[in-house]
């Protein structure tokens, strides 16, 4: 794939992410996306063929990083290291993929009518893996017997809220946007909250 093609596709996906987040799937048109991205509409169709394909590309731009974020939980035995890396990565995704994260959240809240089946299945497989790993850590005595599913839900919400509810957080914080220091402060707080609150120990 040429550098120009990659750059143009990335620009279109970013603009589409913003518009889908602002207006939703149904109300967003490819004409609006092309206009804001400053590309001819035929180019948009050349790269993505259909609106559905573009929407999928937007969802994949955030769901793929979200799937990869759980690699430490899957691959590392030590729960303290795994949870620390997972939380920090989830916050980085909220910072770097804010618009796509909002689009994904809106899709899920609407009942996921346009979420491709393979993405939904991958996310479900990821959830199952995380729950099983939490249960394993509990059985090994490396974590207090907390409800695994509620810990997972809390980790989702506490990290993704920095993207999905960014406007409200900025309003309360009196800032136009959150900076690196804000995300680092959030990471340190959430890591300490989870590790201490769940009694997470290093693996034996």
Q: In this structure, are 73 and 133 located in the same domain?
A: yes
Distance CA 180, CA 196 (A): 24
Q: Give a yes or no: residue 204 inside a domain.
A: no
Q: Give a yes or no: residue 75 inside a domain.
A: yes
Torsion of CA 40, 46, 49, 51, to 10 degrees: -20
Q: In this structure, are 167 and 155 located in the same domain?
A: yes
Q: Give a yes or no: residue 191 inside a domain.
A: yes
Task: Tell me the per-residue pLDDT of 151-164, one tens digit each, with 9 for 90 and over.
Answer: 999 999 999 999 99
- Model confidence pTM above 0.85: yes
Alpha helix positions (H), 76-116: 79-96, 98-109
Q: In this structure, are 121 and 102 located in the same domain?
A: yes
Q: Give a yes or no: residue 86 inside a domain.
A: yes
- Nearest CA to 96 out of 37, 7, 178 is that of 178
Q: Which of 55, 70, 98 is the last residue of a domain?
A: 55
**Which CATH number fits the domain that encloses residue 39?**
1.10.10.60
Task: Tell me the per-residue pLDDT of 6-19, one tens digit each, with 9 for 90 and over.
Answer: 888 999 999 999 99
Q: Give a yes or no: residue 91 inside a domain.
A: yes
Q: Give a yes or no: residue 203 inside a domain.
A: no
Q: In this structure, are 11 and 41 located in the same domain?
A: yes
Q: In this structure, are 12 and 107 located in the same domain?
A: no
Q: In this structure, are 32 and 63 located in the same domain?
A: no
Residue 4, pLDDT score: 79
Q: In this structure, are 36 and 117 located in the same domain?
A: no
Q: Give a yes or no: residue 144 inside a domain.
A: yes
**Which CATH number fits the domain that encloses residue 129?**
1.10.357.10
Q: Give a yes or no: residue 159 inside a domain.
A: yes
Contact yes or no for 62/93 (Cβ under 8 A): yes
What total of structural domains would you count in the chain?
2
Q: In this structure, are 173 and 76 located in the same domain?
A: yes
Task: Kindly provide the residue ranges of all beta strands, DSSP E only, lying in 59-178, ordered along the sequence.
Answer: none
Q: In this structure, are 97 and 164 located in the same domain?
A: yes
Q: In this structure, are 142 and 192 located in the same domain?
A: yes
pLDDT along the chain (204 residues), means of 10: 82 96 93 94 94 96 97 98 98 96 94 94 98 98 98 97 95 94 97 98 93
Which domain, by its residues, includes 23? 3-55
């Amino acid at each position: 794939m040429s550098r120009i093609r990659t750059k143009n596709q990335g620009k279109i996906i970013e603009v589409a992410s913003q518009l889908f987040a602002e207006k939703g799937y149904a109300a967003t048109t490819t004409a609006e996306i092309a206009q804001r991205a400053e590309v001819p509409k035929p180019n948009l169709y050349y790269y993505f063929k259909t609106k559905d394909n573009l929407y999928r590309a937007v969802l994949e731009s955030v769901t793929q990083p979200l799937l990869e974020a759980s690699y430490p939980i899957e691959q590392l035995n030590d729960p303290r290291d795994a949870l620390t890396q997972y939380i920090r990565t989830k916050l980085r995704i909220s910072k770097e993929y804010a618009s796509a994260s909002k689009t994904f959240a809106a899709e899920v809240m609407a009942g996921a009518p346009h979420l491709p089946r393979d993405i939904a299945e991958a996310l479900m497989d990821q959830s199952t893996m995380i729950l099983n790993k939490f249960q394993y850590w509990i059985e090994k005595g490396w974590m207090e017997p907390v409800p695994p599913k509620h810990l997972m839900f809390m980790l989702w919400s506490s990290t993704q809220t920095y993207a999905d509810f960014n406007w409200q957080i900025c309003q309360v914080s009196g800032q136009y946007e959150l900076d690196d220091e804000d995300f680092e402060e959030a990471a340190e707080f959430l890591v300490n909250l989870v590790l201490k609150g769940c009694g997470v120990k290093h693996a034996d």
